[in-house]
Amino acid sequence: MPKLSHVKADGAIQMVDVSGKSASRRFACVKGLLRITDAHRSALGELPKGDAFTTAQVAGIQGGKRCSELIPLCHPVPLSHLDVSLRLVDEGIEITGSARTDAVTGVEMEAYTAVVVAGITLIDMLKAVGPDLVLTDVRLEEKTGGKTNWRRA
């Protein structure tokens, strides 16, 4: 197993020291899926709490911007762009979060946080129709910048 950067030799946790790194343009894209029923799909346009997609999109953006407040060892990252998009697919609602920065550390966690917050916002808005909602398949699709560029095959 590779050495974990957040763990000291004695096993204690640490925030990684990025002070010696050079800033670079960084990008991350994360996707997730909210599995819904036909009843949820039918109710999307007439929910008492309002427009589920717009609300989830704004919540996801807000969540991604607050990532370092929620994930203890994440660095605050100056985001230059954060986007959340949602679309109905056969399996449910596909949620995509993408983030950009010019910084010394990446934006994967901001994209992950945006997707998960958008997903749980959809759950909050749809749960009155029925509790059978599953947020699943949250995964990194692509990251660029820094030492490693990576894309899901």
Any domain includes 15: no
Question: What's the pLDDT score for residue 11?
Answer: 73
* pLDDT at residue 45, as a whole number: 87
Residue 49 counted as domain residue? yes
- Asked if the structure places residue 4 within a domain, the reply is no
Which CATH number belongs to the domain containing residue 62 in this structure?
3.30.70.640
Distant-in-sequence, close-in-space partners of 153: CB < 8 Å, separation ≥ 6: none
Stated length of the chain:
153
Whether 132 sits among the annotated catalytic residues: the reply is no
Does residue 153 lie in a domain region? no
Is 40:127 a contact under the CB 8 Å cutoff? no
16-21: long-range contacts, CB 8 A cutoff, minimum separation 24: 16/73, 16/75, 16/105, 18/75, 18/104, 18/105, 19/104, 21/104, 21/105
Question: For residue 84, is it within any domain?
Answer: yes
Q: Is residue 18 part of a domain?
A: no
Would you say residue 48 lies in a domain? yes
17, 51, 83, 124: the catalytic one is: 124
Each residue's pLDDT expressed in tens, for the chain with a length of 153 residues: 667 777 777 877 778 878 888 899 999 999 999 999 999 999 998 988 889 999 999 999 999 999 999 999 999 999 999 999 999 999 999 999 999 999 999 999 999 999 999 999 999 999 999 999 999 999 999 999 988 899 999
Domain count along the chain:
1
Look up the pTM and report it.
0.92
Domain with 85, as residue range(s), is 25-143
Per-residue model confidence (pLDDT) at position 1 = 62
